[in-house]
Amino acid sequence: MSLNRVRHLDSATRSTVRQAGFSSLIRLAPFMLLAGVIAILAVYFVIYLVYARALFAFPFDYDQGEGFELYDAIRLAAGQNIYLDNSIFPFYSSNYPPVYRLMVVPLIWLFGPHIWTARLVTFVCSLVIGALIVAAARRVMMAQGRPSTALGRLAGALFLLGPAAAALAFFAANYVYYIGPLARAHIPMVMFGFAGILCLDIGFAGDRDASQTRVRLRWVTAGVTLLIVAGFTKLQAVDALAAGFGFLLFRHPRLCFKALLTSALATAVIVVAFNLATGGQFWLNVVLANVNEYDIQRTWLFYGQWFRLQGALIVCSGLYVGWDVIAAIRARSLKPITIWSMYFMAGAAIGMLTGKWGAGPTYLVAAIAASCVCTVGFLWRAAHWVADRIAAHPPIAANHFTRNALFALLMAVVFLAQASLNVHLPTSGRVFGALARILNIPSGASAWQGYPYYDVIGDTQLGHLLDPADIQAGWELARLAREAPGPVWSEEAMITLHAGKGVVTNPTQLLNLSKSGYLDTSNMIRMIDAREFGAVIFRAQFYPHDVLLAIHENYQWGRTVRMNGFDYLVLYPRPAKQTE
């Protein structure tokens, strides 16, 4: 059509063109809105990456106990036992199963004993969880129905945008942000558990015929194996184990009993082997020592905090579970209950352990991962249900585009609401400082000891970036430990490791054993009374009471070094005349 003819289009034609363009814009609006929400969630992911990079550059304990995780891996890399008798010098033992430590060993062989190697393993595991969430969310969408091919690339994009939003919401969660890059076993445990759940879900996809029995068996074998590995990463994997075997019981009782029996035998053989090889120390330190005192008030506190932080996803996941339960009642069968409903419920139930001494809200990370999947499943179902109701009332016609648009709109609303609950970010620098001002975060707001970091939770010891002075303080502590004669009693392992000295004690483990009556402290107190330690370095003084009393009777304050917002007390032996 020539330019001259276009100029002479009648007003009716021009109006039709404008209406068509406006209609197209309206149709695209939900998808554009979802893309905008994903961009907001991506900002959280960038903050997560910045935090991880800062931790990789910090060579000391950021969270108490990280160095002991590395020390376990160092011992394993050298072929040494990590489950020792805590009553014998150096009064040390690991208190977790070995899988995470074994994952760090190859990096120690390649790069040496650096704390960043242990943090890198955990960080990569968190990225794998994100990828698994994408895969699982796509599966729950496909279980309800594929998008219409009439929309072409737009429909395919929706099957990426929805799961991508779910995965990014996982990284936006405050609890995930805190521990994702830390040298801790919890994230690897969740990775193995989530992967095992996903394998079981794939194994029972659709109605496999007899020719696909082997395919199902392979997926179930892989799933159960991953669940066992999760259990040998950290004992809190009981949520994934309960969900996995419960799902097997609902879908295929006979296969469940076979898998359960095989798993129990394999686990028993491994535990007995470890126990024999360590003289009983594996069972004592990994199982008995983790039966700690319990405070139900802490549990309710953490549940309340979890709901304030993850409320949008928790509500949607609860509705997803309810949908499954109603479907099961109508079908008079447990088969309609999906494995993701079971995993979310089990993950939420494991939150009851947050009241245990030494536990924390990160026990709910598995529930957060499951809620990301359940939320996508619920919103996809809801979009279909609403579209079907619309289609039943002519002249409105609900096609696949309507379903997809409804889903995109629901996703945008829910995940925007969720993003608003998770606000946390550094508040200094050109980019983050400007973002803090846009969000109207008060100047100077700090979640921990004056560090320029804001967290909607309020006071939190984790999440802030580190100051260069913190690294200098760490090296100063290492220097003091190195110059002290003989062994150094340090509450954190990285200080003595950088000082070139052996690690003495695992404080919280000693305290746990002492509270349960499983620890003989006589050798410790004898060495302390003889002042055989050149220095004592405290941060939180998480030691048995009689040990602390002996230290304070035989050692006196010498220096205070402030690192990462904590005062590290360096104590030296008292002169003999002061103890006569």
Nearest to 365 by CA among 239, 243, 245: 239
Same domain, 180 and 235: yes
pLDDT for 10: 59
Same domain, 401 and 431: no
How many Å apart are CA 141 and CA 417, to the nearest integer?
A: 21
How many Å apart are CA 136 and CA 348, to the nearest integer?
A: 19
Rounded to whole angstroms, what are the CA distances from 150 to 128, 345, 391, 532, 574?
33, 37, 18, 79, 82
How many Å apart are CA 62 and CA 133, to the nearest integer?
A: 28
Same domain, 446 and 484: no
Predicted confidence pLDDT, tens digits, the chain (580 residues): 444 554 554 555 545 545 444 445 566 788 899 999 999 999 999 999 999 999 999 999 999 899 999 999 999 999 999 999 999 999 999 999 999 999 999 999 999 999 999 999 999 999 999 999 999 999 999 886 655 544 456 667 788 899 999 999 999 999 999 999 999 999 999 999 999 999 999 999 865 555 578 888 999 999 999 999 999 999 999 999 999 999 999 999 999 999 999 999 999 999 999 999 999 999 999 999 887 788 899 999 999 999 999 999 999 999 999 999 999 999 999 999 999 999 999 999 999 998 887 888 999 999 999 999 999 999 999 998 888 777 666 555 545 567 888 899 999 999 999 999 999 999 998 999 999 999 999 877 899 999 999 999 999 999 999 999 999 999 999 999 999 999 999 999 999 999 999 999 999 999 999 988 999 999 999 999 999 999 999 999 999 999 999 999 999 999 999 999 999 999 999 997 554 4
Rounded to whole angstroms, what are the CA distances from 492 to 152, 468, 544?
57, 20, 16
Same domain, 180 and 36: yes
- Is the Cβ–Cβ distance between 163 and 408 less than 8 Å? no
Estimate the crossing angle of helix 365-391 against helix 186-203, to 10 degrees: 40
Same domain, 369 and 509: no
**DSSP letter string, 4-54:** HHHHT--HHHHHHHHHHHHHHHHHHHHHHHHHHHHHHHHHHHHHHHHHHHH
Same domain, 447 and 507: no
**Domain end marker among 421, 441, 476:** 421
Give the chain's domain count.
3
Look at residue 390 and tell me if it is in a domain: yes
- Is the Cβ–Cβ distance between 367 and 357 less than 8 Å? no
Look at residue 229 and tell me if it is in a domain: yes
**Domain end marker among 432, 455, 478:** 455
How many Å apart are CA 75 and CA 497, to the nearest integer?
A: 12
The burial of 439, by beta-carbon neighbours within 10 Å (0-12 exposed, 13-18 middle, 19 or more buried), is given as: exposed
Where in the sequence is the domain holding 432, given as residue range(s)? 424-455
Look at residue 1 and tell me if it is in a domain: no
Helix, coil or strand: residue 146? coil
Rounded to whole angstroms, what are the CA distances from 566 to 24, 119, 183, 448?
58, 21, 19, 10
- Is the Cβ–Cβ distance between 92 and 44 less than 8 Å? no
Look at residue 332 and tell me if it is in a domain: yes
Look at residue 7 and tell me if it is in a domain: no
Same domain, 495 and 361: no
Same domain, 226 and 134: yes
**Domain end marker among 409, 433, 455:** 455
538 forms bridges with which residues in the sheet? 569
Same domain, 437 and 480: no
How many Å apart are CA 186 and CA 429, to the nearest integer?
A: 31
pLDDT for 292: 78
Same domain, 326 and 233: yes
Same domain, 442 and 315: no
pLDDT for 347: 97
Look at residue 3 and tell me if it is in a domain: no
Same domain, 503 and 383: no
